[in-house]
Structure formats: structure tokens, C-alpha cells
């Protein structure tokens, strides 16, 4: 997992060409007028999902991971808490892997951290994560505008 601010994005060029392209897109794009939904950058190899939603209480966290894609999650507006736990063989599966959605859910817990506007997190397949949680102490739900860029890791 990588956690940083968008102004430091160029430090991560060496992670891979698609991650570099994703971070460049995030740095250059004005998301205030971009409609919600999927925006293809390079077909199924690289695409952005623009989302606006209210954050949910931490006790409603859904811990997920992917196998084919790496996520670059960028908070444009608002603040949300995200969770992270390293994938382990003994981690109990809550919902079996769905290859069509590239998604598996786990029954686990992990570290929580807040990502505000201008912050991003990169989650690889070994990074179980729980996005979209309310921030603050105590947590207070709030509106978030977020872009998730899916970077294909395995051949299409």
C-alpha cells in the first residue's frame, strides 16, 4: 500500500507505466465537471470510476481485495477513512472471489487512516482494504467525491 498526496505523485513513476499514467491523469484532470461513472483511459487496462457518496460508519466496513487490478484511490473532495490489512493465507473469506468483478471480501480488521482532499492510496492485490468510511473522532458521515483508477496487472 502507498499513501501520499497528489503533489508527490511523480515520485511513484517507477511503480509501473499504468500507475504513472493514472497519477498523471489525476494530477491533470478537473473532476468538478466530470460526470460520475466509468471513464476509459486505455480500455480495460486502465479506467477511472468517478464516485460521489456519503461515507459510512466504520462498523459497516467491507474488507476487499482484487487479483487482476491495482487500485489508485484519490479523494477529490471531502475526507474519508480507509482501512488496510496485509493479505494473509489464514484470512477468512466472507464472500468468494468473483472474477467478473475482480472482487473478494474478507472477514477481518486492520489499520484505519484518513485521506482528505488531494490524498491518494494505492492498493495492490496483497492489500486488503476498506474504503468509504466516515472520518473523525467520533466518526461523522460526510460527502466524498472520489476517483478510483483501476490499473490492470495481468494481461487482458
Q: What is the mean pLDDT of residues 65-93?
A: 98
DSSP assignments along 104-140, one per residue: EEES---EEEEEETTEEEEE-TTEEEEEEEPBTTTTB
Measured distance between the N- and C-terminal CA atoms of the chain, rounded to whole angstroms: 23
C-alpha cell at 58: 466504520
Q: Is the pLDDT of residue 155 over 80?
A: no
- The model's confidence at residue 148, banded by pLDDT at 50, 70 and 90, is very high
* Residue 154 confidence class, pLDDT cut points 50, 70, 90: confident
Residues 3-18, mean pLDDT to the nearest whole number: 95
Q: Which residues contact 89 (CB under 8 A, 6 or more apart)?
A: none
* pLDDT surpassing 80 at residue 156: no
Model confidence pLDDT, tens digit, residues 80-132: 999 999 999 999 999 999 999 999 999 999 999 999 999 999 999 999 999 99
**Which pTM does this prediction carry?**
0.96
Domains in the chain, start-ordered, CATH in brackets?
Answer: 2-152 (2.60.120.370)
Amino acid at each position: 500500500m502507498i499513501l501520499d498526496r497528489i503533489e508527490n505523485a511523480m515520485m511513484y513513476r517507477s511503480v509501473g507505466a499504468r500507475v504513472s499514467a493514472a497519477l498523471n491523469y489525476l494530477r491533470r484532470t478537473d473532476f468538478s465537471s466530470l460526470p460520475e461513472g466509468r471513464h476509459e483511459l486505455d480500455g480495460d487496462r486502465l479506467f477511472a470510476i468517478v464516485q460521489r457518496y456519503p461515507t459510512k460508519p466504520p462498523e459497516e466496513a467491507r474488507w476487499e481485495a482484487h487479483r487482476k487490478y491495482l487500485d489508485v484511490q484519490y479523494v477529490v473532495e471531502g475526507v474519508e477513512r480507509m482501512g488496510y490489512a496485509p493479505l494473509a493465507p489464514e484470512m477468512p473469506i466472507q464472500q468468494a472471489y468473483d472474477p467478473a468483478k475482480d472482487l473478494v471480501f474478507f472477514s477481518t480488521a486492520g489499520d484505519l487512516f484518513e485521506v482528505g482532499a488531494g490524498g491518494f492510496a494505492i492498493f495492490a492485490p496483497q492489500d486488503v482494504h476498506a474504503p468509504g468510511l466516515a472520518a473523525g473522532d467520533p466518526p461523522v458521515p460526510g460527502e466524498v467525491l472520489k476517483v478510483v483508477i483501476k490499473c490492470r496487472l495481468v494481461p487482458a
